[in-house]
A and B are shown apart, each in its own frame.
Chain A
């Protein structure tokens, strides 16, 4: 009993748990996350896809919607995975399980799941004839897009994994999800104008960096802005001193075939520096999403190291 006997190390344990997770993928219906991703992205492509990467407003709306579905996918991939087997992990930890191996196995498995979901989302976008970015800033445009969606999904996945590592029950985990989602949606900075401290909070959201990356790849700042033309069209019938100046102006612009020029000009006057289309900007977003992934994976390990303190 006194002699030291070597047992399975971290690498072998990672493979043991990886095997368990992939068997779960087959037997516990975890694979259903994939058709769900296809269904949601189909729905979003149908609603916002046509204007994405076509106009500023459509791109912002589309990027927001697609980053939201990535976050949704990521959250639901892993929000229950640890808490539903917390008692088992506690026992296994007492029997020699290394938490680093356990979390690393989850990271590999979730990376597989997230990459499948990102690939499915892009395939659905292509099938739904959503306009794809014309140029890639880091690699190929489709690969850039895939990588961004993968990182958004994976970062959200790691946040959910962290939540799952410290809540005790699946009910609590599912109660936390809506709050996380609301936080991501409100503080993405895409739809609600944020100022001061609220703007600083947006730096802590996956949605901000995902949205920024998608907008940058979609060349947001080079796209026409349609909202002014749409608003003016609604005011065609407005009369001033018996005349209809808006109607006349719009007719003139249309007749002189300068509508597109006007919308482009309108867009160039409303550029947003945050969405600058450059390799640096895209890489910065990826880096920040990468930080989320590493940080929350690390925090998950730290939380799980305290699992022995769980009481009955």
Chain B
């Protein structure tokens, strides 16, 4: 067989597969033309089967397989390039076949066909694509797509006044590109937090709490306008970064340094350059006192208890005396007494006119310390939405519950053990705000 014949056969198989896939995509409610692009073809085959992740991997492997086949055809048999291409082909064919099997298995379910079809799909994919695509009796099974959700609540679009004092948050949406698909992580979150308020951020796992905080601080930007006082957090971040303290979930401290040195380095990095040594030392000592770290200031961070490490993490952020102080689960790993004591410290910080926003998974033991609560919940499209923002006392009435954990249960999805009423509350809150605004 000549090289030209090999190439023509490969090309013909690609064309036939494209035609078949075009029709399969149409049957699955996708755009048929996506099958023209080889990379998209494999990915959307995965999407049709309801396996985006596998489809993504398959697309990458397909690119490798095609590149190595074309190289094998182009280069002379026995040449170094041919050998490398053959080796590469062998290398990618193994995972490619595995992922192909995974996708085809689920595709058979989607089309209500026997799983034995996987074998011909692996050997003669172009032929199967033609059969499944062109023969009318090959159609998607009843109830396809199996994971379709009901419509998500409509957008409120009720933006808050950016000139209001405090922290104004207007998040239109926060998206993330995952291979060829754009996923909306947060949408339509508008609120204003006055200065001196301590706010609880409530939401189930994966509801987008941390994404929300990252969007507010500009850590991971969203399509949003966030203002703190007169300043735009996104546009003026460089001048504001020392005014925003963000304590993430994990303790970001180096174990081999002493507590004092850790804090001293943080102070040198974050405090203005014109701070005198005495002024800086006083600030460090004040913060050590505030967080009860003075007795262990000479200890290595590695030797600290969980609570002390957490307080050190917070102290490092607090050293620059930020106006907006955000903490992601600062009480994780702390017992009730220590957690309470920590939150009381945060309350005292808020009382000095700062804004403190806190995520915690055990809100009821400290609920009385908060002024407001933000409830973020996943809607039907699994996008983080604002289900409530307001006074903690009013929140109980709004949700018809007696504790924060009950509120959380009501917005959590059913498969997570919750009541799955997130969409109801998103709509109710939008209506409430619209009524209030009107």
Contacts and interface: CB of A to CB of B under 8 A. Distances in A.
B284 to A, nearest CB: 14
Interface in A83-131: 85, 87-88, 91-92, 94-97
A96 B246 CA distance: 13
A96 B242 contact: yes
B265 A4 contact: no
A24 interface: yes
Given A20-B254, A87-B250, A2 B219 contact: no
Contacts, number: 81
Interface residues of B, number: 36
Interface in B182-236: 210, 219-220, 228-231, 236
Interface stretch (B29-37, B45-53, B85-93, B267-275): B267-275
* Most B C-beta atoms less than 10 A away, residue of A4, A6, A9, A312: A312
Interface in B40-65: none
A60 to B, nearest CB: 28
Interface residues of A, number: 30
Contact of A92 (B255, B269, B300): B269
Contacts of A6: 272-274
Nearest to A308: B219
Interface in B252-287: 252-258, 261, 265, 268-274
A96 to B, nearest CB: 6
Interface string A271-312: 000000000000000000000000000000000000010011
B310 to A, nearest CB: 15
B268 A8 contact: yes
A91 B274 contact: no
B242 A95 contact: yes
A97 B239 contact: no
A97 B272 CA distance: 14
A309 to B, nearest CB: 9
A4 B256 contact: no
A12 B268 contact: yes
A132 to B, nearest CB: 38
B243 interface: yes
A5 B269 contact: no
B241 interface: yes
A91 B252 contact: yes
A147 to B, nearest CB: 31
* Most A C-beta atoms less than 10 A away, residue of B80, B229, B236, B268: B268
A27 B270 contact: no
B269 A16 contact: yes
Nearest to A97: B269
A1 B265 contact: no
Given A8-B268, A16-B269, A92-B269, A312 B229 contact: no
Interface in B316-338: 323
Contacts of A32: none
A290 to B, nearest CB: 31
A28 B255 contact: yes
A197 B80 CA distance: 11
Interface in A1-49: 1-2, 4-9, 12-13, 16, 19-20, 23-24, 27-28
A20 B257 contact: yes
Given A20-B254, A23-B256, A28-B256, A5 B239 contact: yes
B110 to A, nearest CB: 30
B254 A7 contact: no
A24 B256 contact: yes
Given A23-B256, A94-B219, A4 B270 contact: no
A231 B210 CA distance: 72
Contacts of A12: 268, 273
Contacts of B257: 20, 23-24, 27
Interface pairs A-B: 9 shortest CB-CB: A28-B256, A27-B256, A88-B252, A6-B273, A5-B272, A24-B256, A91-B252, A1-B231, A16-B265
10 contacts: A7-B271, A19-B265, A20-B257, A23-B258, A87-B252, A94-B241, A95-B269, A95-B270, A96-B241, A311-B220
Given A1-B240, A87-B248, A91-B246, 14 more contacts: A1-B230, A1-B323, A2-B231, A6-B274, A7-B273, A8-B268, A8-B273, A19-B261, A19-B265, A27-B300, A94-B246, A95-B270, A96-B270, A97-B269
